[in-house]
Structure formats: structure tokens, C-alpha cells
Amino acid sequence: MSLSHPDLWSVVNKQFKYKWMSYKSVFQGLMIAQIIAMVFSLFGVASSSMGFGFIDLNIQYITGDFVFFFTCLWAFFISVALDRNENRLADQIFVTNSWSRHLANVVFIVIANMIGTITVVTASFFVKMIHIWIFGIDGFIFFGEYTLPGMLIFFIITFFYLILFSSLGYLIGSIMRQGKLIKFGVVLFVGGPLIFTDNSYLIPLFQFFGDESSVIWFILKILLTSMLAIGLTTLVSRRLEVQ
Amino acid sequence: MSIVSCQHLDKKYKKQYALKDLTIELEENRIIGLIGRNGAGKTTLLKTLAGQIVPTGGEVKVFGENPFNNLKLSANTIYVDDQMQFSLEMRIHEILVAAEMFYENWNRELADRLIYYFGVDRYDFHDQLSKGMASTFNAILGLASRCPLTIFDEPTTGMDYSVRQDFYRALLKDYIAHPRTIIVSSHLLNELESILEEIVLIKNGKCILHESIEDFKEYAIGLSGDKNVIQSIVDHDVIIHEKELSESQVYIAVDNHLSEKDITGLKQQGVQMTSVEAADLSMFLTNDTRGGIDDVFKSS
């Protein structure tokens, strides 16, 4: 019987299709996260009240910020779980090696995040629409101006933030799978401070990405960080046996 | 051509060796039985060949290459056992689509016919199948993928008798039509014997025997008769198995290398000579227990 000599990219392509068939819950998770976020958003992200003598002005900001934030969490957690043991076992039944697996995972993350981005943008509008349906137009509504370049930037920024959260999740997931003790350490030293401190140490990190005024630099920073995270992941999980 | 080559292979888990100094060469296009007791190292060896485990020592080559993390090996090998963990979100018919996508030699018609014959519900999820049905489905996957190296690790776990017989028959028929290297592991030789061409016995992580099935059937002879007579003629080193029949009578299985003189001597003393069934012999050789079960109940 003659041997087949598969090339890496054809296997990556097949593995991506396989993952697309087998990770349906990822998109159910996205729907649930965004529905919860939309419910929160309906009550307004922020509001301010002002009084001018006999006039009271109450301004409520309806935005998709909650949806964005929840989708970032979704991107992070699906990526933590993407390369988990069960999934590696399921990969291993068919044709795979660690390169093709990581590459297929990256392709999956990119496509899933594209879908995530589209739904973040549409959900942001949806929230505003629902707000009008429920509460009616009983006041003045000021819409932000939506221009095509502005929307494009909204798409790009959202997408690359999701990529950033995903790649960090992918790295953290792979580190956690190195052993029970390491998993405990990650939870203790990463999860602990996030919950029990004011997280002021994260400010420079957010500033590094968030204060970037050039879109090109922003994209480059995120791409470099993500590539670094995924590179580290392949290194960390290099000798991992599936058991 | 040698398709599998292991040289002084070791695999250590914490302090225990699962494989120890195992050396074996397997030729292409054979059906090989890997027989050993539970914990002998069968699964560790097979998973090493399938590239799922990294050995701690020695060298392993499959298709002339290191199997771990090897795409070529993965494309030409399928490893089937009862622990196969499929995606919980895929139904049987979707798994079949995936298998067809990945395996070049996949035969859809064969898979469909076997699925129909064994009554596997295509719309079930794999984890909804009963143990026997899951094993049957896994075996179908192994057969229909027609990989140049097909590994079945205890494939019949949970299958009932008639399904086991059908599976072995299907395996043999498909092998004859499409010869490839098939390794089937089991702790028992009984049902496998008729389809095997070669047998490999493994005990305590070592390969203790690798023979063609014909040679294996001639490997030993059984002697029953007077204990003292047999012990005086037969060298203790060649005894494979010993069982007391009564105070003075004994049954002994020995290496079939007795000299003409010994055979004549034994016959003259009334010792009966019988062939040893391959299944029994594999059990004697891989046995890890001390004495026989009867010894446990003997009053001291």
C-alpha cells in the first residue's frame, strides 16, 4: 500500500474544517455572552443628570461597551479551552501533528473572532434599537455620527482586541496544562490579583494598547504580542503527550 | 521491508517501566497479534508506534521515521481502541465525513455498509453509543480508513461474541483485498488465532517472542505422566508451564527442542505427548502469576 505524503497546509485546512464542525458550542457561547451583555446594556452604560433651574436634564449613554467587554471575555475563555486535552484527543484520532494543530487553532481563532467582531458591531446597534422599542422616543436622541471610515476603524479595533485576548488566553491555557501545580500557580498568581486587588498594575498594559492613536501601530503592537504569545504556546506544549 | 523498528525501547512512568529494553522489527503487509497480560506494556508500545507517546530511551522508527509529532506517520496510521474520544459535538455521520476528509484511502462504501450491518445510528453522538456499539464504530473507522499501518488496541472490548466474530471476519476479508500492516492487541489469543500471520508476545515491557503463527503452533509440546520420570529427563530450563494432575502425575509444557533420545525415553516410560494449543501456550508464556490458581487453595 503506497504511503501518502500530506503537506502541512492541506492538513491545516482539513483540521480547521474539522474544528468548525466540532466546536459548535463556541458560537453558542458567543450568543449567550452577547445576549447577557445586551440585557445589561439596555439599562445604560453610564448616565448623568443635570439641573438647570426648573429643567432637569438626564443623559443616558447607550453603547455596545458591555457587548464588547463580554465578547473579549468570550474570546479569552474559548482560547484557554481550545487546546485542552479532550480536543487534542479528538484531533489525534485523525491526521495531525503539533504544528498543524496550533495553526488550525489559530485559523479557527481568527475566523471565530471575525464572527465575534461582526456580532459586536451589529449588537451595539441592536441595543440602541431595542432601547427605542422598549422605552420609546420620549426624549431627544442624539446619535453619534457613523461614517464609513469610522465604522471600519471600529471593526478593526474590535477585531484586534479580540485577537489579543484570544492569544493571551491560548498561552495561559497551554501553561496551565503543564501540570496541576502550574495550573494552581496560574490561578493563584494571575486570577488572585485580578479579583483581590485594584488592578492598578494593569494600567500601563492597557495604556500600551489603548492610548495608541495610530491604527497601524495599534495593529502592529497587537500582532507582535499575539505572535509572541502563540510562539510561546507552541514552545511550551512542544513535548506534550496526549493522555 | 521493515515498517516498524524498535531498538532497546524504554518508557518509564515515574518509577515504573512500562517498556523495558524492547526490541522488535515488524515487516510490511502482515496481520500481527500483540499478546500480553494487562499491564504488560501493549498499549504503551502501540501508542509509541502511533506517535502519541515519547519513549524515555532507545529508538523507534515507523516508516523509517521517528513517529512522534510526525505528519506523514499520522496520515498513514490509525490507532483504534475503546478510549477514542471524539468531539462531544459531532454526530456519527459527521465523524464519518471528517474521516473521509482526512484519510486518503478511506472507503465510504465499506464504512456505510458496516454501519448499516451493525446497526449503528448515524444520528447518535459517539458518547451516546453503548460500550459495545462504540467499540464497533471505532473498529469500523479503523477498517474503512485503510491506513498502511492500522493499529487495533483491544478492539473488541464490550462487543458481544457474534459481533467479535463478524469483526475479525471483516478484518480478514478487507486485509486480503487490501493488504496492509495490521497490529491487533489482545490479552487472549483464542479468537484472534485464525486471522493472524505473526504473533508477538510481550511481558513486563519486553518482547519475549516473535514468531509466525505456524512456528508458534509447533513451539511447544505437552508432556503428561509420572512426575519423577519427566523431571529426570527434561531439563528444567525448557519448562514453560507445569501443572500437577495428582500426587505423582504432572502436566508439563516444554520447548519443542527435545532430542530424539529424550523423546524415545519419555515414550518408553509411558509419558503422553500432546501438542499445545496456541492459545494455551500464549497464556503460559505471558503468565505472570506464581504457580497455579489451585496452589492458592492448597492447605499448607
Q: Please tell me the predicted confidence (pLDDT) of residue A137.
A: 67
Structural domain for A172, as ranges: 8-48+55-177+212-236
Q: Is B242 helix (H, G, I), strand (E, B) or coil?
A: strand
Question: What residues form DSSP beta bridges with B185?
Answer: B34, B153
Residue A202 in domain: no
Alpha-carbon Rg for chain A, nearest whole angstrom, is 21
pLDDT tens digits along B1-11: 789 999 999 99
Of B75, B98, B180, the CB nearest to A1: B180
Would you say residue A78 lies in a domain? yes
B2-216: CATH class: alpha beta
CA distances from B136 to A91, B59, B96, B149, B224 (A): 20, 33, 14, 19, 42
B148·A1 Cβ contact <8 A: yes
Cα B101 to Cα A12, A93, A219: the distances in Å are 12, 13, 35
Let me know if residue A189 belongs to a domain: no
Return the amino acid letter for B104.
E
Which range among A81-95, A137-151, B196-210, B217-231 shows the weakest confidence by mean pLDDT? Answer: A137-151
Beta-strand ranges (E) seen in A70-141 are none
Across the interface, of B85, B94, B97, the residue whose CB is closest to A89 is B85
**If you average pLDDT over residues B294-299, what whole number do you get?**
72
- Residue A56 near chain B (CB below 8 Å): no
Most confident of A84-88, A150-154, B210-214: B210-214
CA distance B47 to B84: 12
pLDDT at B130: 93
DSSP state letter for B193 = G
**Is A200 among the domain residues?**
no
Q: Which residue of B has its CA nearest to A8?
A: B71
Neighbours of B220 (CB within 10 A): 25
Å between A80 CA and nearest CA of chain B: 17
Dihedral angle sign, alpha carbons of residues B87, B90, B92, B96: negative
CB atoms within 10 A of CB A167: 26
Considering only CB atoms, which chain A residues are within 8 Å of B180? 1
The proportion of chain A whose per-residue pLDDT surpasses 90, expressed as a percent, equals: 44
**Residue among A9, A85, A94 with most chain B CBs within 10 A, to mutate:** A94
As a whole-number percent, the residues of chain B with pLDDT over 70 amount to 97
**Residue A170: in which H helix or E strand, if any?**
helix A148-176
ipTM: 0.85
Query: Which residues on A lie below 8 Å from B86 (Cβ)?
Result: 90, 93
pLDDT computed for residue B183 by the predictor: 97
- Interface contact A97-B146, CB threshold 8 A: no
**Interchain pair A89, B105: CB under 8 A:** no
pLDDT of residue B235: 80
Going by pLDDT thresholds of 50, 70 and 90, the confidence category of residue B291 is low
Distance from CA of B92 to the nearest CA of A (A): 12
Whether residue B89 and residue A24 make contact (CB cut-off 8 A), yes or no, is: yes
What is the number of structural domains in chain A? 1
pLDDT in tens, B147-197: 999 999 999 988 999 999 999 999 999 999 999 999 999 988 888 888 999
- Is A201 inside a domain boundary? no
Tell me the shortest Cα–Cα distance from B140 to chain A, in angstroms: 13
> All 3 cell numbers of residue A230?
502563540
φ, ψ (nearest 5 deg) of residue B240: -95, -35
Does A28 touch chain B if contact means CB atoms closer than 8 Å? no
A239 contacts in B (CB within 8 Å)?
54
The pLDDT score that the predictor gives to residue A52 is 72
DSSP readout, B62-90?
ETTB--TT-HHHHHHEEEE-TT----TT-
| pLDDT mean over A205-227 | 87
pLDDT band with cut points at 50, 70 and 90 for residue B58: very high
pLDDT band at A161 (very low <50, low <70, confident <90, very high): very high
Joined together, the cell numbers standing for residue B294 give 489451585
Instruction: Tell me how far apart the alpha carbons of residues B265 and A174 are, in angstroms, rounded to a whole number.
Output: 70
- Asked if pLDDT for residue B217 goes beyond 80, the answer is yes
A52-66, B38-52, B244-258, B268-282: range with lowest mean pLDDT: A52-66
User: pLDDT at position B203, please?
Assistant: 92
Q: What residues contact residue B117 under an 8 Å CB cut-off, 6+ apart?
A: B166
**Of B74, B141, B178, which is closest to A96 when you measure between CB atoms?**
B74
SS3 assignment, position B161: helix
Asked if residue A154 belongs to a domain, the reply is yes
Does residue A11 sit at the B interface (CB-CB below 8 Å)? yes
DSSP SS3 for B21 = strand
B32 within 8 A of B181, measured Cβ to Cβ? yes
Read off the pLDDT of residues A47-71 as tens digits, 9 standing for 90 and up: 677 777 777 777 766 676 888 999 9
Q: Are A23 and B89 within 8 A, CB to CB?
A: yes
- Please state the φ and ψ torsions of residue A20, each to the nearest 5 degrees: -60, -40
Q: What's the pLDDT score for residue B234?
A: 81
Which part of chain B is CATH 3.40.50.300? 2-216
Three-class secondary structure of residue B115 per DSSP? helix
Looking at residue A231, what is its pLDDT?
A: 92
Residues of B in contact with A16 (CB under 8 A): none
Would you state the pLDDT for residue B289?
A: 63
Kindly state the average pLDDT of the residues B74-80: 95
- What tens digit of pLDDT does each residue of A90-145 get? 999 999 998 999 999 999 999 999 999 999 989 888 888 887 787 776 655 666 66
Q: pLDDT band at B292, cuts 50/70/90?
A: low
Q: Fill in the DSSP letter of residue A145.
A: P
Tens-digit pLDDT profile for residues B78-135: 999 998 999 999 999 999 999 999 999 999 999 999 999 999 999 999 999 999 999 9
Higher-confidence residue: B23 or B288?
A: B23
Q: Quote the mean pLDDT of chain B.
A: 90
Cβ–Cβ < 8 Å for B248, B238? no
pLDDT at res. A103: 95
Residues of B in contact with A96 (CB under 8 A): 71, 74
Instruction: Flag the least confident range among A96-100, B20-24, B227-231.
Output: B227-231
Judged by CB atoms closer than 8 Å, whether chains meet at B146 and A1 is answered as yes
Task: Identify the pLDDT of residue B270.
Answer: 86
Asked if the model's pLDDT at residue B290 lies above 70, the reply is: no
- Which residue of chain B comes nearest to A25, CA vs CA? B89
Confidence at residue A141, expressed as pLDDT on a 0 to 100 scale: 62
CB contact under 8 A, A4 and B76: yes
A62 vs A192 pLDDT, higher one: A192
Q: B101 vs A18: CB contact, 8 Å cut-off?
A: yes
Q: Which residues of B touch A22 (CB under 8 A)?
A: 87, 89-90, 94, 98
Residue numbers in B near A90 (CB within 8 A): 85-87
Higher pLDDT, A190 or B163: B163
pLDDT digits (tens, 9 = 90+) for B37-47: 888 999 999 99
Q: Name residues whose C-beta falls within 8 Å of residue A58's C-beta, 6 or more positions apart in sequence.
A: A47, A48, A49, A50, A139
What residue of B is the nearest CA neighbor of A99? B69
Q: What pLDDT does residue B27 have?
A: 93
Q: Pick from A2, A93, A98 the residue to mutate for testing the B interface (most B CBs within 10 Å).
A: A93
B101 and A14 in contact by Cβ < 8 A?
yes
Grid cell for residue A130: 431595542
Please tell me the distance from the alpha carbon of residue B60 to that of residue B23, in angstroms, as a whole number: 9
C-alpha cell at B230: 519427566
In a domain, A77, yes or no: yes
